[in-house]
């Protein structure tokens, strides 16, 4: 099946929520960003310290998704944002232990990562339905932490 665009998907692995399919045509993608910390080991008589790996930091991927409800009916945009919100909600594991749900980010062959939705920022703008004030457009900023 030929697509006129690159299909993308966020698929819930844990917790609530199902999958969210989207058209992938980002202006910019940041990440995966890798940040490592090194410990300086000072040695007498040496001009500069040796560096030894101490630990890694969280790897993250940032991008925006845009949802347009033109021709899709009232409430479609908000239903997409609600599906993303479900992927942010922690779920119960055992007695009293809450864990962030893992999601699988699949974007063509470019990105295939298991992640946690760390931050979601919806920004509604543009045209709204006059009867219900439901938005027809939303840009959602996502910050995903790679699950290692």
Q: Is 83 a member of any domain?
A: yes
**pLDDT (mean) for 22-38:** 75
Give how many domains the chain has, as a whole number: 1
SS3 of residue 80 by DSSP: helix
Confidence of residue 4 (pLDDT cuts 50, 70, 90): low
105: CATH: 2.40.30.200
Task: Dump pLDDT digits (tens) for 124-141.
Answer: 988 888 888 889 899 999
User: Does 1 reside within a domain?
Assistant: no
Which stretch of 1-10, 12-21, 114-123 has the lowest confidence by average pLDDT?
Answer: 1-10
CA distance 38 to 82: 40
Q: Is residue 127 part of a domain?
A: yes
Q: What's the pLDDT score for residue 139?
A: 92
67 belongs to a structural domain: yes
Give residue 16's domain range. Answer: 6-146
Q: Computed over its alpha carbons, how large is the radius of gyration of the chain?
A: 20
Query: What is the per-residue pLDDT across 76-132, written as a single tens digit (0 to 9) for each?
Result: 999 999 999 888 888 877 777 788 889 999 988 878 899 999 999 999 988 888 888
At 1, the pLDDT band (50, 70, 90 cuts) reads very low
pLDDT at 16: 65
Question: How far apart are the two ends of the chain, measured CA to CA in Å?
Answer: 33
């Amino acid at each position: 099946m030929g697509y006129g665009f690159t299909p993308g998907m966020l698929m819930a692995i844990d917790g609530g929520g199902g999958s969210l399919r989207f058209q992938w045509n980002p202006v910019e993608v940041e990440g995966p960003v890798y940040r490592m910390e090194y410990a300086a080991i000072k040695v007498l008589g040496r001009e500069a310290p040796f560096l030894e790996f101490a630990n890694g930091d969280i790897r993250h991927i940032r991008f925006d998704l845009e949802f347009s409800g033109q021709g899709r009916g009232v409430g479609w945009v908000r239903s997409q944002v609600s599906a993303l919100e479900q992927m942010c909600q922690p779920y119960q594991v055992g007695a009293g232990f809450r864990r962030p749900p893992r999601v699988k980010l699949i974007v063509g062959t470019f990105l295939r990562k298991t992640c946690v939705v760390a931050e979601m920022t919806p920004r509604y703008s543009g045209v709204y339905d006059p009867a219900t004030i439901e938005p027809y457009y939303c840009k959602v900023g996502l910050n995903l932490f790679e699950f290692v």
